[in-house]
Amino acid sequence: MDLPLVSFQLKENYLLVIGHGRRDTLLSMTQASAMIYEKVLETDRQYLLVDYRQLQINVHFSEAFNIVKRYEVAQPGLKSLKIAAVFAESGSEFGHYWREVSRQRGFFIEIFTHVHEAEAWLLKQIADGE
């Protein structure tokens, strides 16, 4: 049985998003982001902890720019979210580039390599925002 592109766990104050499998094309990235956006709208969560440690990212860095452009067109509500994203060391370079492109376009994303650090940062954002 194949895992979905992403799975979700609704936490008390945020939505946990867990990436599965591989991202080899812009299409697979777009499909996953659409699933995430749909769940954000469904749960009305403004804070996301995105765990991409098990995700294999096999796309060129230019796709980070393309996916952010796609957010702007198809998921503009993502600009109101605070996102802590966790990448394995092997995906951290892509993650950092994605963060920089996203921030330049008005999205609020921070990158981590340890999930407990990401959660602590996100919980601080929640506390500061309330």
pLDDT tens digit sequence for 92-117? 889 999 999 999 999 999 999 999 99
pLDDT tens digit sequence for 25-51? 888 989 999 999 999 999 999 999 999
- pLDDT confidence of residue 51: 97
Instruction: For the chain, give percent helix, strand, coil, nearest 5.
Output: 50, 25, 25
- pLDDT confidence of residue 1: 54
User: What is d(CA 66, CA 54) in angstroms, rounded to the nearest whole number?
Assistant: 22
Report helix angle 92-104 to 62-74, nearest 10.
Answer: 40
Global pTM value: 0.91
Architecture of domain 6-129: 2-Layer Sandwich (3.30)
Q: In the block, which residue shows the tokens 């650090």?
A: 117
Taking the alpha carbons of 66, 103, 79, 43 in that order, is the dihedral positive or negative?
A: positive
